[in-house]
């Protein structure tokens, strides 16, 4: 038997007895960032492919929500900072080794772009919208001229944003659960999947809903594959990563992970989407809502479980 205790009574707030420095703000932001990345990815993709009239919800309607998601996410991030008035220090240098620095700069680029992209499509919702000032109208015309170039920039930035939400965690080797490079692609796939679900919710065209149900189905299969690989990797790794996997395999996060993320967030919506594609009628809100719910739960559970996983010495 081996027992290890701190006898000098260390009880640093937010650190002891287990790390709990990050609360709801970080996973919520990761969800909103991934969702924004997913919507922007599909908007830019189908814009580049010239299918804006075939898939209007993806290219023109859903991106109107992105600025809202990004601003809410950034606000959540700001709330998380403990030394808030110094937040501008993020933009005084570029640190290539720090994922958070990458994320801050990516958001700095993609947030204004998402505002411009949304502004270009505001007339889809408000047909009588008038920009009032001539210079705004000139700017709109100029942006419309270069919208394909903008879409290429957006598609690259959206992939960086989507991957970064996972890399943020995986860069921390002090938390064995997070220390897997699978989290980058997993969070990207989940972000794209929630983006596809949002487009399904907003779409009024049957063909478009069908396409995004198929895309979402493929992404869910990829997510299940990545989750399986994550556990295989953990169980074949060092003791600390075996312990990390056991948080979900009998440990305190078992029920929440397998029920909320895997069953309700992935398997059930996938089954409903298969039924829908086989011509059974399923109200779109159910699979799409479940996918969004699963996306939120994935971030929350990984964020909290990661802080509970640690090295022992």
Partner 1 sequence: MRYAMAIDTKKCVGCSDCVVACQTENNVPIGYCRDWVVEVMDGTYPQLEIEIRSERCNHCENSPCVRCCPTGASHYSDGGIVLVTPDECIGCGACITSCPYDARYTHPEGYVDKCTFCIQRVAKGLQPACVSVCPTKCMYFGDMDDPKSDVSLILKKRKYKTLIPEAGTKPQLYFLI
Give the integer Cα–Cα distance in Å for 101 and 71: 18
Identify which range of 3-11, 46-54, 109-117, 217-225 contacts partner 1 by CB under 8 A: 3-11
Span from 15-23, 55-63, 183-191, 209-217 in contact with partner 1 (CB under 8 A): 15-23
Tell me which residue has tokens 């490079």: 181
Instruction: Count CB-CB contacts under 10 A for residue 93.
Output: 8
Contact stretch for partner 1 (CB under 8 A) within 11-19, 52-60, 133-141, 202-210: 11-19
Cα 17 from chain centre: 30
Among 32, 36, 57, 90, binds partner 1 (CB under 8 A): 90
**Within 10 A of 194 (CB to CB), how many other CB atoms are there?**
29
Contact 4, 312 (CB under 8 A): yes
DSSP 14: T
Among 49, 50, 68, 87, binds partner 1 (CB under 8 A): 87
Between CA 270 and CA 128 the distance in angstroms is 40
Integer angstrom CA distances of residue 65 from 40, 148, 163: 10, 20, 20
Q: Considering only residues 159-218, where is the footprint of partner 1 by CB under 8 A?
A: 171-175
Judged by CB under 8 A, the residue of 81, 125, 232, 259 near partner 1 is 81
Write each residue from 289 to 308 as x if it is in contact with partner 1 (CB under 8 A), else as -, in one continuous string.
------------------x-
Give the nearest distance from C-beta 166 to partner 1 in angstroms: 15
Question: Which stretches of the chain bind partner 1, using CB under 8 A?
Answer: 1-16, 19, 21-22, 80-84, 86-87, 89-90, 92-93, 95, 97-101, 104, 171-175, 238, 307, 310-311, 313
């Amino acid at each position: 038997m081996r027992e290890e205790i701190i006898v000098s009574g260390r009880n640093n707030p937010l650190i002891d007895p287990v790390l709990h420095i990050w609360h709801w703000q970080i996973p919520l932001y990761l969800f909103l960032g991934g969702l924004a990345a997913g919507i922007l990815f599909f908007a830019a993709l189908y814009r580049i492919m010239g299918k804006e009239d075939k898939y209007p919800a993806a290219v023109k309607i859903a991106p109107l929500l992105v600025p809202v998601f990004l601003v809410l996410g950034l606000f959540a991030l700001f709330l998380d900072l403990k030394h808030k008035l110094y937040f501008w220090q993020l933009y005084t240098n570029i640190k290539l080794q720090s994922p958070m620095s990458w994320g801050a700069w990516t958001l700095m680029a993609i947030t204004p772009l998402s505002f411009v992209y949304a502004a270009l499509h505001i007339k889809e919702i408000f047909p009588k919208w008038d920009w009032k000032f001539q210079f705004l109208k000139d700017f709109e015309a100029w942006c419309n001229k270069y919208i394909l170039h903008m879409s290429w920039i957006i598609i690259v930035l959206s992939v960086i944003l989507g991957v970064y939400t996972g890399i943020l965690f995986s860069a921390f080797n002090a938390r064995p659960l997070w220390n897997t490079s699978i989290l980058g692609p997993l969070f990207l796939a989940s972000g794209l999947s929630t983006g596809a679900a949002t487009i399904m919710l907003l779409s009024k065209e049957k063909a478009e809903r069908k396409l995004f149900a198929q895309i979402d189905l493929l992404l869910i299969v990829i997510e299940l594959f990545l989750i399986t690989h994550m556990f295989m990797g953990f169980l074949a790794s060092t003791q600390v990563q075996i312990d990390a996997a056991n948080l979900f395999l009998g440990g305190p996060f078992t029920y929440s992970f397998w029920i909320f993320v895997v069953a309700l967030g992935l398997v059930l919506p996938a089954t409903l989407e298969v039924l829908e594609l086989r011509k059974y009628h399923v109200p779109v809100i159910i699979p799409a809502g479940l996918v969004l719910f699963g996306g939120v739960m994935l971030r929350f559970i990984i964020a909290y479980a990661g802080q509970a996983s640690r090295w022992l010495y």
